[in-house]
Structure 1
Amino acid sequence: MREIVHIQAGQCGNQIGSKFWEVISDEHGIDPSGSYRGDSDLQLERINVYYNEASNGKYVPRAVLVDLEPGTMDSVRSGPFGHLFRPDNFVFGQSGAGNNWAKGHYTEGAELVDAVLDVVRKEAEGCDCLQGFQMTHSLGGGTGSGMGTLLISKIREEYPDPMFRRKAFLHWYTGEGMDEMEFTEAESNMNDLVSEYQQYQEATAEDEGEFEEEEDPQQEA
């Protein structure tokens, strides 16, 4: 079976991700406790694509839930399928990103990203044949946009071969008359911004290396 690891980041990503698990659990006949309550063997076909089967016969989503503040995680836990997820797959901070992309990508998000990758790695290593990763996040806010893009780059660096599918959302602009092309353009602009930041970091590192090389002869003299 070719398994998928699902990641949901930020408030929007977790809200959409939670709904995703409600829908897919209903399709597979899985109740909020993780027990199979379906009426057809067809519902259990390919269930291992998204679920791990626990020793007690219950099904657990192969999901990693991420946010930089605990409020979203509390909302997921109190939701109809909140007890379906592994408790140690909730990874969250305390300060939040304050709708700031840079804080999500370079400061608060960067401090939490290793803990998230540890959980992602654990889920990936538990797969017999990892197909890829699926991620839901927003292009707004700080966690979904900033930490979301950070996670994508880290996961692609560590797992270059598996498929990566992402769903990015601009949730609060939907009432402003934006069409599909504007959503695509906004996502492209965000990717360009990330690329520019990375190029700036690489250029800065190269300049620092050259500066240190120039200083060495003076120090020896």
Structure 2
Amino acid sequence: GPQVGNACWELYCLEHGISKDGTISSEAEQAKSKNKSFGTFFSEASNKSKVVPRAVFVDLEPSVVDEVRTGSYKNLFHPEQLISGKEDAANNYARGHYTVGKEMIEKTLDRIKILADDCDGLQGFMVFHSVGGGTGSGFGSLLLQHLSHDYGKKSKLDFCVYPSPQVSTAVVEPYNSVLSTHALLENTDVAFMLDNEAIYDICRRSLNIDRPSYTNLNRLVAQVISSLTASLRFDGSLNVDINEFQTNLVPFPKIHFLLCSYAPVITQEKAAHEQFSVGALTNAVFEQQNMMAKCDPREGKYMACCLMYRGTVVPKDAQKAVADLKTKKTISFVDWSPTGFKCGINHEPPTVVPGGDLAKVERAVCMLSNTTAISQVFTRINHKFDLMYTKRAFVHWYVGEGMEEGEGLK
């Protein structure tokens, strides 16, 4: 969670011309007077000379949040928005949710309340976490429950990193994921599913990185999240706000787990020789290899689909690209949602981190889709869960942290 957050704020600062300590460059100052949407993600400090992200970073152990405290953006964040404990959740949902997490939740909610009170019109929350570890799953679920209770109908958009089919970091990932998914079903409005293996493969294949690091992965994820939030931060011709995501992508309240893809993911060397039309980019985001979670959309049906274009894109080109898609037999919709495409266009071209892996391009597109194929992710995890739980393997670690055996693991 905090690592993805760090990558996002790095990118937002570059996009808005904000320096590493929160001061605004003179060009950005002029743009700011034209662009009022800027304040959705940043609040002005009391002396008006700098801005502060409307964000809270939380971890039950200090190492990751310490990276933010000592990193190049250490002067950007308010120190009280960086919250860390002394002992981690040891890959155990029950520790994150019941024992260790209980000690941290009040402090976290107090800080969130201060930020929420500072907003003129709070629209909702974006929550970033993984579901395989103990903190992301256990504490993440606890936080979502409290946000639902304290803020009622405010939207909660969740970005959750699911365990990968091949790359595993903990034996008990299936337990944590299943327990966490239960909370995501009840306490989020939209959940964007990501998995490290899918993003690894995109980095390897499209960016020629032999052994991608978390920085490589997170910078790619940040581009996707930036595309989703661009319409909240910049003006555009077909803008999409947070509530529109829900309205257009969630046909039934609990069917809100979405698949994302992004194009073009390309190196600087290749970008110099290639021209990407709106049509080519639109086709690319429907390719299986560009999906940010390991599942094959060709094996499912689409219920809804949202295309977020940014850069030099005119509505006519976007409409033609969608019309061409509809003639393709490979993309099939459920019969009760025959033409479920929603388009958004934002004229701010994508920004990239200087010296990073991604090329600077004139236009890009991010697709969000609600497809029945996402069930493949859950089927995989359920299968692994059942293999362990039939033997009651590792269950004592959860019961020992105050969880009743029948409570979540049934």
Instruction: Please indicate, yes or no, whether the TM-score normalized by the shorter chain is above 0.5.
Output: yes
For 1:28, the equivalent position in structure 2 comes to: 16
Checking the alignment, whether the CA contact within 8 Å between 2:69 and 2:82 is kept in structure 1 is: no
Q: Counterpart amino acid of 1:185?
A: F
Aligned Cα RMSD in Å? 2.6
Q: Counterpart amino acid of 2:152?
A: P
Q: Secondary structure at the match of 2:75?
A: helix
**Offset of residue 187 of structure 1:** 11
For 2:106, the equivalent position in structure 1 comes to: 114
Going from structure 1 to structure 2, the CA distance change for 1:45 and 1:68 (only over 3 Å counts) comes to same
Q: Counterpart amino acid of 2:378?
A: E
Q: Secondary structure at the match of 2:71?
A: coil
**Offset of residue 170 of structure 1:** 2.5
2:294 to 174, 179, 191: 179
**Offset of residue 186 of structure 1:** 7.1
Q: Secondary structure at the match of 1:39?
A: helix
Q: Counterpart amino acid of 2:63?
A: G
Checking the alignment, whether the CA contact within 8 Å between 2:54 and 2:115 is kept in structure 1 is: yes
TM-score by length of 2: 0.41
Within a 5 Å distance, the mapping from 1:121-200 to structure 2 comes to 121-170=113-162, 173=167, 174-175=196-197, 179-180=294-295, 181=374, 184-185=377-378
Residue 242 of structure 2 corresponds to residue 49 of structure 1: no
For 2:84, the equivalent position in structure 1 comes to: 92
Number of residue pairs matched? Answer: 181
**Offset of residue 175 of structure 1:** 3.6
Checking the alignment, whether the CA contact within 8 Å between 1:133 and 1:163 is kept in structure 2 is: yes
Question: What is the distance in 2 between the residues matched to 1:101 and 1:137?
Answer: 13
**Offset of residue 156 of structure 1:** 0.8
**Offset of residue 127 of structure 1:** 1.1
Checking the alignment, whether the CA contact within 8 Å between 1:33 and 1:83 is kept in structure 2 is: yes
Checking the alignment, whether the CA contact within 8 Å between 1:104 and 1:145 is kept in structure 2 is: yes
Q: Counterpart amino acid of 1:42?
A: A
**Offset of residue 162 of structure 1:** 1.3
Going from structure 1 to structure 2, the CA distance change for 1:105 and 1:64 (only over 3 Å counts) comes to same
Question: What is the distance in 1 between the residues matched to 2:158 and 2:55?
Answer: 14
For 1:15, the equivalent position in structure 2 comes to: 3
Q: Counterpart amino acid of 2:11?
A: V
Could you list the per-position Cα deviations for residues 20-75 of structure 1 after superposition, in whole angstroms to 9, with x for gaps in the alignment? 00001111110001011152533553111011101222000011110001111111
Checking the alignment, whether the CA contact within 8 Å between 1:31 and 1:37 is kept in structure 2 is: yes
Could you list the per-position Cα deviations for residues 159-192 of structure 1 after superposition, in whole angstroms to 9, with x for gaps in the alignment? 0121111100126643488713367527997xxx
TM-score by length of 1: 0.74
Could you list the per-position Cα deviations for residues 50-108 of structure 1 after superposition, in whole angstroms to 9, with x for gaps in the alignment? 11101222000011110001111111112221220000111211011111111001110
Structure 1 runs, 4 residues or longer, greater than 6 Å off: 186-189
Checking the alignment, whether the CA contact within 8 Å between 1:170 and 1:183 is kept in structure 2 is: no
Question: What is the distance in 1 between the residues matched to 2:140 and 2:376?
Answer: 17
For 1:216, the equivalent position in structure 2 comes to: none
For 1:37, the equivalent position in structure 2 comes to: 25
Q: Secondary structure at the match of 2:63?
A: helix
Going from structure 1 to structure 2, the CA distance change for 1:186 and 1:24 (only over 3 Å counts) comes to farther
Checking the alignment, whether the CA contact within 8 Å between 1:32 and 1:83 is kept in structure 2 is: yes
Q: Give unpaired runs (5+ residues) of structure 2.
A: 168-195, 202-292, 296-373, 383-402
Q: Give unpaired runs (5+ residues) of structure 1.
A: 1-12, 190-196, 202-221
